Every structure is written in structure tokens, then in C-alpha cells.
Amino acid sequence: MKNDVIYIIGLMGSGKTSVGRMLAKKTNKKFFDIDQIIIEKEQMSISEIFSQKNEKYFRDLEFSILEEMQHNKNCVISTGGGIILREENIKIMKQTGYIVFLDITINTQLQRVRNKENRPLLKDGNIKESLKKLRDQRIKIYENISDIIIDTSKNNQKIIADKIIKKLQL
């Protein structure tokens, strides 16, 4: 198994962190959350990074952390929703692990991302329209690069983790 690494990708609110943590626990793997690593490293929230620095700065950090982590083994890595926007990130993930796309319906996503202060890409305008726009921009990439796709709209993290374990035959 590609270094025994599982990358969790998906749109905001899809459950990347909670499912990733549960999956790591159930499979006795280490868990890493790239967004949390960035927050700790920068000593500011992602929203603050976006507003005080910019999105490119954040994406550069995301890439450098992923690049550092690519040699890890036996772990689950929760990524930021936009990690798929850079081809080099996709290349690293494809070469070093399995990619699990956590899909979600717009309505479920809307229910889960109520606190938009922590969501820099939802700061402006109608949240539902912003979510739809992000989904439209990213969905084909998520689908094309994923080894497996799991709909997280109707299940809890334990059931979702069990589905991933079954599909990846862990």
C-alpha cells in the first residue's frame, strides 16, 4: 500500500477532519490535519492568513507542508478543500497514497458551515451561491483524482470511516 497513507479531500464541511481522525483511530494510523498544522505554524486562523497575507501565501504553505509530509508512512492526512488546485499537490498525493474524496450535497454542506467567519472563501455574498460556485469549480478534479468517493451527506463519521476501510480493504 502506497506508504500506507490515506489523503482525505473534499469541500468544506464534508467531514475531512472528523472522518480522518476516526479513520486513523480505527486503523491505528497517525492523523495529520494540514489546515491545523498551518494554523499552529502561522499562529493565526486560516481566515486571518487569507486576509492579512493572501490566498497564494496560504496555498504555498499548504504545498510546503504536503511536500514535507509526503515521506510519512502509516497515516491519514486531512487536507484543505483547495489542495487540489495545484497540480504538484495532486502529483504528490497520487504517488504517495490513496485519495479519498468525501462528497457532500450543497444543502448538507450549508447546514454544516454556518459559522462563516472560519471560512474565508465564504466571506462575501450569498453562502449557498458561494458553495455552489466552489463545488462547480472543484468537483471534476475531486472525482478524477480520487481512488474512492464516499457521500458524507447522510452518515456519521464512524459509518463513513467503516466504508473507507471496507473499500480500501484495510
The secondary structure of 85-107, three-state, reads: HCHHHHHHHHHHCEEEEEECCHH
Q: In this predicted model, which residue has the larger pLDDT, 37 or 55?
A: 37
Residue 170 lies in a domain: no
**pLDDT at 125 > cutoff 70:** no
Q: What is the pLDDT of residue 121?
A: 52
Compute the mean pLDDT over every residue in the chain, rounded to the nearest whole number.
90
pLDDT digits (tens, 9 = 90+) for 80-94: 999 999 999 999 999
Residue 168 lies in a domain: no
**pLDDT at 76 > cutoff 60:** yes
Residue 38 lies in a domain: yes
Residue 152 lies in a domain: yes
Beta strand pairing call for 148-151 and 75-78: unpaired
How far is it, in rounded angstroms, from Cα 147 to Cα 168? 9
How far is it, in rounded angstroms, from Cα 67 to Cα 95? 12
Residue 169 lies in a domain: no
What is the residue range of 114's domain? 2-162
12: DSSP letter: T
77, β-bridge pairs: 7, 32
Q: What is the pLDDT of residue 93?
A: 97
Look up the CATH number of the domain holding residue 36.
Answer: 3.40.50.300
Residue 105 lies in a domain: yes
